[in-house]
Amino acid sequence: MRNEMKIGDVSRIKYFFTTASTTAPRRDPLILDLDKDGTETIGVDAGAYFDHDANGFAEQTGWVSPDDGLLVRDINGNGTIDTGRELFGDNTILKDGTLATDGLKALADLDDNNDNKIDSQDAAFSQLKVWKDTNSDGISQAGELKTLNELGIKSLNTTYTVTNITDSTGNTQTHQATYACKKAFGEEFLTGRLLLANV
């Protein structure tokens, strides 16, 4: 007996492949918990737009909450964070010219002395900043970029644990690392590798 495909089956298959091809990939920046209450995000419908993949188009995206910050590097030196190339995520270009698979791998690429942390012993440490997007619009503006020294951050660990926690806004923290501050002796703050929903 032959297996015959019906018109309804064809329609469902077309829908499946159309949906799969148009579903936007989640984006993967590193977010620093600046107030010790966990990494917090806002949903994809909250109004943030950012050019994650450096294609000249800012897509609607899940984003960091205003009381936490994105770890960034102003690569072109124009005083703003323009695209995902300047975040630490899956659009960061590594030293060998390839794309990082995730933000923690991108951070580890800067570990010159292989001690599993980024600090003043690593050349790129002074270039790192934290983008505290106070109005959560995805646009880097005056006063939103802080140096690590301004925030008292002395080191960022590259070792991590797997978490896979999806928050109420639909964004997922897949991994968690820590960073240390100068004034918080013995205390560690959280660095989250987030998968941000976007459309």
Statement: residue 9 has pLDDT above 70: no
Q: Taking a C-beta distance cutoff of 8 angstroms, is the pair 63, 56 a contact?
A: no
Statement: residue 18 has pLDDT above 50: no
Q: Render pLDDT for 98-144 as a digit per residue (tens, 0 to 9).
A: 999 999 999 999 999 999 999 999 999 999 999 999 999 999 998 99
Statement: residue 2 has pLDDT above 60: no
Q: Rounded to whole angstroms, how far apart are CA atoms 104 and 157?
A: 9
Q: Rounded to whole angstroms, how far apart are CA atoms 186 and 87?
A: 28
Q: Render pLDDT for 27-79 as a digit per residue (tens, 0 to 9).
A: 789 999 998 888 999 999 999 999 999 999 999 999 999 999 999 999 999 99
Task: Kindly list the domain boundaries of the chain, sorted by start residue.
Answer: 25-195
Q: Render pLDDT for 79-92 as a digit per residue (tens, 0 to 9).
A: 999 999 999 999 99
Give the pTM: 0.85
13 pairs with which residues across the strands? none
Neighbours of 127 (CB within 10 A): 15
